[in-house]
Amino acid sequence: MLRNSHDIRTGNRPHVLVVSALCLGAALAFWSSAYADDGYAEYRDQFEPLPALPPIPADNSLTPERVELGNMLFFEPRISSSGVISCATCHNPALGWSDRIPRAVGHDGQVGERNTPTVLNSGFFTAQFWDGRAETLEEQALGPIEAEVEMAMSLEEAIARLGEFDIYHKRFAEAFPEDEDPINADNVAMALAGFQRTLNTPNSRFDRYLKGDLGAISEQEKRGMKNFADSGCVACHSGPALTDSQFYRIQVPGSEDLGRYLVTGEQADRFAFKTPTLRNIGLTYPYMNNGATETLGEAVEIMGQEMLGREYSSEEVADMVAFLHTLTGEMPSFEIPALP
């Protein structure tokens, strides 16, 4: 008994201390979170910060060799029939990895049908192109090389041109060491996709806000976020890149483009386009599938009318535009390669 009572007396004291400490800690944590919260937690919780890297597919390991090769190929104009157009021509790193003109200008000055999407954070999308005709970056990568209005070169010829350079034999062999004949279209696509998966823009002001730095965005920007969530934008502009990679019918001013219908042939897909990412939207003007919308303010108004059937007030528009500007992240580092 003595021993037990001794145990109880002396043995329980630490327990009491631990329990007290836990209670105090919990109280402090509660108080501190209540004190630190800015009143927007329920809206903030509807968003996700952007990870530093998107999902990496099991069949395309993101090795430094593939990324470096993809970097070279991204800037390689000799895989266009003119010899002067590369991926970087329309996905220009100086212009938010897009081109800031309404519709892409490609081979022989031809103007395409659609606005150039940025490649930034495209590894987070589960559908590529405005019409989702590719799902993965690997499927997407070769399209613009062959497109008559873009780089206008057959894959056979592109592969043959690359094969003329010793350095590409070396780099493809390093990037795809298990392939006997590594300079081929699949590997061009793999390398380009790998490079693009490194082109992410984490640590925007909004990301810092989501991670706890409640002063990283202003009160107006928070109101914009709230309205963005409240009025339903976040239903489609969801996930880390603020896109669900799904397709929705929309006819923006000046567009008669049938969109996703041209891929699926389904009536329901007439005029349907992929939800575009809103990451870095402040850098990737002009907007919409036809690039006819010049400012973010107009874009917000059009989306309100077309997708949500509502007219935003000018204050609401200003708040949401302010919010959208917080989505500009840190530009990725890359090298202008020395091409052979």
Annotated catalytic sites, by residue? 150
Which CB, 108 or 181, lies closer to a copy of itself? 108
| 89 is a site residue for a copy of itself (CB under 8 A) | yes
**Contact predicate 102/153, CB 8 Å:** no
SS3 293: strand
Long-range Cβ contact pairs of 303-307 (< 8 A, separation 24 or more): 303/233, 304/231, 306/250, 306/251, 306/252, 307/232, 307/236, 307/248, 307/250
Cβ at position 338, least distance to a copy of itself in Å: 7
Long-range Cβ contact pairs of 145-150 (< 8 A, separation 24 or more): 145/79, 145/80, 145/188, 147/106, 147/112, 148/107, 148/110, 149/104, 149/106, 149/107, 149/110, 149/111, 149/112, 150/80, 150/85, 150/90, 150/104, 150/106, 150/107, 150/112
Q: Give the residue, chosen from 43, 49, 63, 95, that forms a contact with a copy of itself under the rule CB under 8 A.
A: 95
Cβ at position 233, least distance to a copy of itself in Å: 26
Contacting range for a copy of itself; rule: CB under 8 A; set: 89-97, 122-130, 194-202, 259-267: 89-97
**Contact predicate 137/117, CB 8 Å:** no
Which CB, 259 or 332, lies closer to a copy of itself? 332
x/- string (CB under 8 A) for a copy of itself, residues 107-126?
Answer: xxx-----------------
Q: Give the residue, chosen from 83, 177, 254, 265, that forms a contact with a copy of itself under the rule CB under 8 A.
A: 83
Q: Which two tokens stand for residue 90?
A: 């329309």
| 93 is a site residue for a copy of itself (CB under 8 A) | yes
Phi, psi of 273 (to 5 degrees): -135, 155
Q: Give the residue, chosen from 46, 62, 67, 82, that forms a contact with a copy of itself under the rule CB under 8 A.
A: 82
- Interatomic CA distance for residues 276 and 274, integer angstroms: 6
Residue 130 is classified by DSSP as T
Phi, psi of 265 (to 5 degrees): 70, 5
Residue 129 is classified by DSSP as S
Which CB, 16 or 336, lies closer to a copy of itself? 336
Q: Give the residue, chosen from 67, 101, 185, 216, that forms a contact with a copy of itself under the rule CB under 8 A.
A: 101
Contacting range for a copy of itself; rule: CB under 8 A; set: 76-84, 201-209, 259-267, 273-281: 76-84
**Contact predicate 128/140, CB 8 Å:** yes
Helix (H) or strand (E) holding 289: none
Q: Give the residue, chosen from 50, 69, 87, 105, that forms a contact with a copy of itself under the rule CB under 8 A.
A: 105
- Interatomic CA distance for residues 282 and 195, integer angstroms: 23
Q: Give the residue, chosen from 92, 203, 231, 251, that forms a contact with a copy of itself under the rule CB under 8 A.
A: 92
Which CB, 173 or 339, lies closer to a copy of itself? 339
Which CB, 108 or 213, lies closer to a copy of itself? 108
Contacting range for a copy of itself; rule: CB under 8 A; set: 91-99, 141-149, 186-194, 253-261: 91-99
| 331 is a site residue for a copy of itself (CB under 8 A) | yes
Which CB, 227 or 290, lies closer to a copy of itself? 290
**Residues near a copy of itself, by CB under 8 A:** 75-78, 82-84, 89-90, 92-95, 99-101, 105, 107-109, 331, 336-339
